Structure 1
């Protein structure tokens, strides 16, 4: 087998014969909102987009303002052509459907171990291009992938995966893309747990509540990756093949690429840890591995001094 063949084989993630149909992932149409009022005016809005661009939760509902999505404004079409793991390996939209097909049953089983009083239900999942209307206000491609607590929906412009390599310098690859989805799904788990209502998100810095939220979402993503090869479709078929060492490196590289210190350096500035909102590259990689090795119950980032 040639190097090119080996590299191509290593990028195959889903079991080609698995069933990924029946998810709620949609490709959204253009919508509009009735209004958005964010504390801090234009500076606050820019801050929201910068924070979200780092790969984390959308914070527009947390900055003292209100926003109302027009009922029915978010429209979308189901991904009817996404039927099998082979489709997920070949097409990025179908890969998102495949991620949902695996993440949903994983968390349906794992959520109870976290001791939350709420019951689990899956998030909405909307793919968009250029712009989208959400329960947290208007979003553009510049926003990056994010989770909106107001409408419990993950929003992803899949062009971000190309930017992850071209702008952030990540290696890319299917598992790197799936890590991004799993991180946002982790924010949904936190929302169900009530974390957003109990953690102080007003501070920044390497041990702040804001960073602890993001690192836990990285850990939750790792916990799914560690168990994903055991998740089955409705017919009992394995959905994802066991990840290779190369694919794990791809996911870790994606986590490092969106570390606060890396992004500050990319901007040509010095590293100022007091401004961190998501954690350093090392922190994000460490907590991904904590979840990968220890499962979802290993992801308590709030009761530790070692971040």
Structure 2
């Protein structure tokens, strides 16, 4: 991706030099046990804690010693800031064309663990979006694991795809889609609720592809293949086969490798936000 020397977002908070997520919290403060299979690239299913509870948790925290960032860390910070800036430009345009106003999300870079308005999380949860504070949380070491553990191709556009996917969850929050899904899930059995989660995640993949369509002037050769490889590597079927040796379709929450690549590709090819009704498509 052609990114060096371009605008960087002002909405990035870098906590990587602050030790464990910027805070060391007494007693833990995690949102229970968050399985990677369920929470990878998502976070929509995590329970939202109130700002008051978050404040109480933070009152128990102590500052960790600052740690200097390496040149490689600093370069990665500039890259993700540039990608976030690109998503801001594209979504401002799309919202404006549809008579709406886009509100930019924040991004928090961390190491090991982090506190958000949705509670605490560790790197094992993968990148996630918290609708309570409208921020994306990312431990950038995750992308090494994406290659070594899940077999995705290397390259910067795999990272760009993940950021664009999480921004897709922010778009769903702004449009009210996430709220409607959570309301419907309250009256459903687990299998049907999971199907709605799959539709929500596939729509975020579609939005990532849609952003790529509008941002294609910055693509390098092989970028689309990198994004598709990342999407396929984190399909529910691929992860379950790798982690437990068999597949349980009723437990899917993010979609298969084929579905994730398909919806990213549809967003990229059509460039039309109206083509992203993943809920009707899976009924």
How big is the shift at 1:23?
2.0
* Cα shift readout 1:26-55 (whole Å, capped 9, x = no counterpart): 1124234999696xxxxxx22465422x22
Contact in 2 for aligned 1:33/1:137 (Cα 8 Å) = no
Question: 1:46 maps to what in 2?
Answer: 33
Number of residue pairs the alignment of both structures matches: 261
Distance 1:34 1:189, change over 3 A: farther
Structure-to-structure mapping, 1:1-307, within 5 angstroms = 13-20=1-8, 22-28=9-15, 29=18, 30-31=22-23, 32=25, 45-47=32-34, 50-52=37-39, 54-61=40-47, 68-70=53-55, 73=58, 91-112=75-96, 119-199=101-181, 200-201=184-185, 203-204=190-191, 208-230=195-217, 241-244=218-221, 246-295=222-271, 296-305=273-282
Deviation, structure 1 residue 25: 0.8
**TM-score with structure 1 length normalisation?**
0.76
Query: What do the CA deviations read for 1:31-82 (whole angstroms, capped 9, x no partner)?
Result: 34999696xxxxxx22465422x222342226xx76722289599xxxxx9x
> In structure 1, how many angstroms separate the alpha carbons of the residues matched to 2:26 and 2:73?
35
Contact 1:147 1:155 in 2 (8 A): yes
> Which structure has more helix as a fraction of its residues?
2
Conserved 8 A contact 1:123-1:153: yes
In the alignment, is the contact (CA less than 8 A) between 1:205 and 1:211 conserved in 2?
Answer: no
Maintained 8 Å contact 1:205/1:273: no
Aligned to 2:66: none
Q: Where does the alignment leave 5 or more consecutive residues of structure 1 unmatched? A: 1-12, 39-44, 76-80, 82-86, 231-240
SS at match of 1:46: coil
TM-aligned CA deviation for residue 269 of structure 1: 2.5
SS at 2:280's partner residue? coil
Q: Distance in 1 between matches of 2:280 and 2:236?
A: 22
Q: For the Cα contact (< 8 Å) 2:194–2:252, is it kept in 1? A: no
- Superposition CA RMSD, Å: 3.1
Unaligned runs of 5+ in 2: 64-68
Q: Shift of the alpha carbon at 1:214?
A: 0.1
